[in-house]
Amino acid sequence: VCHVVIGIGINVNMMVASDVDQSWTSVRLEAGQAINRNELIVALGRNLQGYLIRHEAEGFAAIQAEWESNHLWQGREVTLIAGTHTVDGVVAGVDQQGALRLNVAGQEKVFSGGELSLRLRHDS
């Protein structure tokens, strides 16, 4: 038996954030209109459930190519934060188990498990 906890933070109707120290946006700013949070979470839940059912039946490898083609940071310079440890690299994709692949100083390294957070480097 395998269990996973998925945490998704979404800025839904946020308009201003002078105290945020990184680039950000919100669904409202991108859509140009206020968003019903309840409708958004229902749609997200349904879509996520479909992927989780597929993952359970076929494994992550079945959605790996789709993931990589939609990952906005594919090929971008990032800083990976894992607890108190940080690693700078370029996103190379994900492996067949869903672990993050980073090119770090010319070598590919794989990261998975625990709490991982990515930040774009040189983001403007």
Instruction: Encode pLDDT of 24-82 as tens digits.
Output: 889 999 999 999 999 999 999 999 999 999 988 999 899 999 988 998 888 989 888 88
| 65 and 11 in a common domain | no
pLDDT of residue 117: 73
Length of the chain: 124
- In terms of residue numbers, what domain contains 123? 60-124
**Is pLDDT of 2 > 80?**
no
Residues 45 and 89 in one domain: no
Same domain for 105 and 72, yes or no, is yes
Shortest CA distance to 91 belongs to which of 81, 101, 82? 101
CATH (domain of 74):
2.30.30.100
Domain count, the chain: 2
Does 35 share its domain with 51? Answer: yes
Same domain, 67 and 112: yes
And the tokens for 71?
């990952």
* 6: its two tokens: 């998925």
Q: Are 23 and 81 members of one domain?
A: no
> CA-CA distance, 36 to 13, in Å (whole number)?
9
Q: Which two tokens stand for residue 24?
A: 């950000």
Res. 123: pLDDT tops 70: no
Tell me the average pLDDT across 11-31.
87
pLDDT reported for residue 64 = 92
Whether residue 67 is found in the same domain as residue 9: no
pLDDT band at 5 (very low <50, low <70, confident <90, very high): confident
Residue-wise pLDDT for 84-121, tens only, equals 888 899 999 999 988 999 999 999 999 987 666 777 77
